[in-house]
Amino acid sequence: MNKIVLITGATSGIGLACARKFAKNGDRLILTGRNEKRLSEIQKELTDEGAEMLTLVFDVRNREEIKRQLSELPKEWQDIDVLVNNAGLALGLDPEQDGNMDDWDTMIDTNIKGLLTMTRLVVPGMVKRNRGHIINVGSIAGDAAYAGGNVYCATKAAVKSITDGLRIDVAHTAIRVTNLKPGLVETNFSNIRFHGDTERAAKVYEGVKPLTGDDIADVAVYAANAPEHVQIAEVTILATHQASVSVIKRK
C-alpha cells in the first residue's frame, strides 16, 4: 500500500535523497523546508516523474507555523504514515569554551526541539490509527563526542534518547520507530558547518569514499517497507574505511 511520507529538511542532502527514493517507491510525499524556491523545483522534478506530493514551507524551529500548516492539510493528506525527521545541522567546530552561543541555539532548536515538535504534532494521529513509522535521522556523533563536536554531538545523543523513549511510549501500538545513525556522508553538511567555507568543507572528505544521501535513503525506505512485525530500531551506516566517529583510514 502506498504511504503518505512527510520528510523535513527535504531540499537537499539526505532529505532530498529520501524524497526521491520514497517517490520511486510509489509513496505520496509531503516535503518541508525553508527554501520555497528549491521546494518548488523539487516538486516539479518529482511530479514530472509521476509523484504525488505537497510542499510546506517552514522552519522546524517555528512551532506555531508548523501547527498552522499541519492543521490546514487537506483531509486526504492528514493520515501521515511515515514521518522522517531529517531536518538538522551542525554549526562550527570550535572548542566548547570558544563556541558561538547563537550557533548552539540554532543546533538545539533545530536538531532537538524541531524534531520534538514534529513528533508531538504527527504521532498522536498515528496512535489513534494504530499504524505509522517515525524515522529519525541521528548520527554516530550521538554515540561518541569528537573534538569540536561538543554541542552537535549532544544534540544527536538527544535524538537517540528521544527515539528510544518514543519507541517505549508507543510499544502498545503497531507504530515503529527507527534511528538512522550515519557516519561520514558527503552532502552540504560540512559547507553549512563551516558557514560556506567550501574549501574547508571539501577537506572533510579527502582520501576516503564517503557515504551519499542515497545510501541513507536506501536504508530509510527499507525500514519503512519491512514486514509489519519487523521494527528496524537502529541502524549505524558507515563508509567502508570509517571504523568509528573518529577513526577514518584515508589514502
Length of the chain, in residues: 251
d(CA 9, CA 59): 9
Active site residue 152: yes
What integer is the mean pLDDT of 142-168? Answer: 97
Tell me the pLDDT tens digit for each residue of 211-231.
999 999 999 999 999 999 999
Model pLDDT, residue 68: 98
Model pLDDT, residue 175: 98
Model pLDDT, residue 152: 97
Model pLDDT, residue 196: 85
Catalytic residue among 146, 152, 205, 222: 152
Q: Which residues of 80-96 are buried (b: 16+ CB within 10 A; e: fewer)?
A: bbbbbbbbbbbbbbeee
What integer is the mean pLDDT of 33-40? Answer: 96
Contact 140, 238 (CB under 8 A): yes
Closest residue by Cα to residue 208 from 229, 186, 226: 186
Average pLDDT, the chain: 96
d(CA 231, CA 223): 7
Does the pLDDT at position 190 exceed 90? no
Sorting pLDDT into bands at 50, 70 and 90, what band is 191?
confident
d(CA 222, CA 243): 23
Give the chain's radius of gyration (CA, Å): 17
DSSP letter at 202?
Answer: H
Model pLDDT, residue 35: 95
4-237 classified as CATH 3.40.640.10: no
Model pLDDT, residue 192: 87
Coil, helix or strand at residue 150? helix
Does the pLDDT at position 78 exceed 80? yes
Model pLDDT, residue 50: 96
Model pLDDT, residue 193: 85
Tell me the pLDDT tens digit for each residue of 117-132.
999 999 999 999 999 9
Closest residue by Cα to residue 79 from 131, 24, 39: 131
Coil, helix or strand at residue 248? strand
Per domain, the residue ranges of the chain are 4-237
Rounded to the nearest angstrom, the gap between the alpha carbon of residue 92 and the centroid of all alpha carbons in its chain is 19
What integer is the mean pLDDT of 196-222? Answer: 93
